[in-house]
Amino acid sequence: MPAQNEAPLLRGSGPASAILSVNMLKQYFYRKGSGDTVVKAVDGVSFSVQPGEILGLAGESGCGKSTLARSILRIYEPTGGQIFFEGNDITHLSRREMRPYRKRMQMIFQDPLSSLDPRMTIRDILMEPLTGNGIGGSNGERLLRAEAILEQVGLPRDALGRYPREFSGGQCQRIGVARALVTNPGLVVCDEPVSALDLSIRSQIINLLLDFQKELGCAYIFITHDLSVVRLVSDRVAVMYLGRIVELCPGAEISGALHPYTQTLLEAVPAQNPRLARQKSRPPVIGEVPDPASPPEGCSFHPRCRRAMPVCEKTPPQAKDLGGRLVCCHLY
């Protein structure tokens, strides 16, 4: 049985109808130094995303979420496994062969300002993906499209002639959203799209993303370390720990998490009610994420797990389907 397994889940009928299907994906890096070390940033991950679905991808920093996203978008060359996008195997396509897929797979980055080229005007930033992907019959058509998407994200047309430094963080993220969606993609990876923003701006950007998703019908992979965000927006949630998915379940059922790691992440979510907040007496999680270059034997979470058993120190748990919820833990 593979270490990760795709549950017969919840929306669509599985990989055949999926916009994205990932099968035992591995992304290893080789660290030079005293004896070459292999860092298994993604280690045998399988899941699929249906058209129009929002899949939340949660976990602490260093768990492999962003690496997984970059492997899927072929920013990295995968070490092993397969990636199917709209039914086509894109795992080892060359840069040139990937070109037709680029306009259908887009990304929104965590730091909105640094993700925009400071030397380019907003017009150039929005026109570039259109020109590069051969979208629109003429420059005039492309400009109309750029103006339209700018208005849809809530910025005035005269913003086209300005530079990223002239905008606030929230406005820059609106431009990042416009740039990702101007090509009408089928899949957008949102990599911590609100974590660098002020609290007051976050819900505006999330609502903007949700409005676009409804209108365009595109699928999102929504990456975050914050389960309070992911459970609000996701149809399903996958929780990653040290390069693997340890739990995958419907977003509405994340509060009934079974995996001890997911439970500790949930405990770290600040309670809205001050009385409940005071009742949170247990520390949210024990210690730090281990170095992925030397993960613990057995279940890689066992040194931090409050429910660890002797078997956890030696034997890696296999994924089990518990009625639509995938869990990777010896307790089940």
Binding site for ligand SF4 (CB under 6 A): 260, 299, 301-302, 305, 307-309, 312, 317, 329-331
Minimum CB–partner distance for residue 303 and ligand SF4 (Å): 8
Nearer to ligand SF4, 209 or 285 (CB): 285
Nearer to ligand SF4, 214 or 307 (CB): 307
* Pairing assessment for the beta strands 326-328 and 319-321 based on DSSP bridges: antiparallel
Nearer to ligand SF4, 40 or 179 (CB): 40
- Under DSSP, the state recorded for 16 is G
Minimum CB–partner distance for residue 282 and ligand SF4 (Å): 15
Nearer to ligand SF4, 172 or 227 (CB): 227
Minimum CB–partner distance for residue 330 and ligand SF4 (Å): 4
Length of the chain, please?
Answer: 332
List Cβ neighbours of 233 (8 Å cut-off, separation of 6 or more).
54, 56, 206, 209, 210, 220, 222, 251
Helices and strands (DSSP H and E) totals, the chain? 9, 12
Minimum CB–partner distance for residue 284 and ligand SF4 (Å): 15
Q: Six-digit token pair at 76? A: 């990295």
Minimum CB–partner distance for residue 143 and ligand SF4 (Å): 54
CA dist 55 and 250 (Å) reads 9
Cα atoms in the Cβ-side hemisphere of radius 13 Å centred on 157 = 5
**What H or E segment, with its residue span, contains residue 107?**
strand 105-108
The candidate with the shortest Cα–Cα distance to 127, out of 136, 163, 118, is 136
Minimum CB–partner distance for residue 304 and ligand SF4 (Å): 8
Nearer to ligand SF4, 75 or 309 (CB): 309
Nearer to ligand SF4, 44 or 164 (CB): 44
Minimum CB–partner distance for residue 43 and ligand SF4 (Å): 15
Q: What is the DSSP string of 183-237?
A: T--SEEEEESTTTTS-HHHHHHHHHHHHHHHHHH--EEEEEES-HHHHHHH-SEE
Q: Six-digit token pair at 130? A: 């259109």
Pair 309, 301: CB distance under 8 Å: no
Nearer to ligand SF4, 22 or 305 (CB): 305
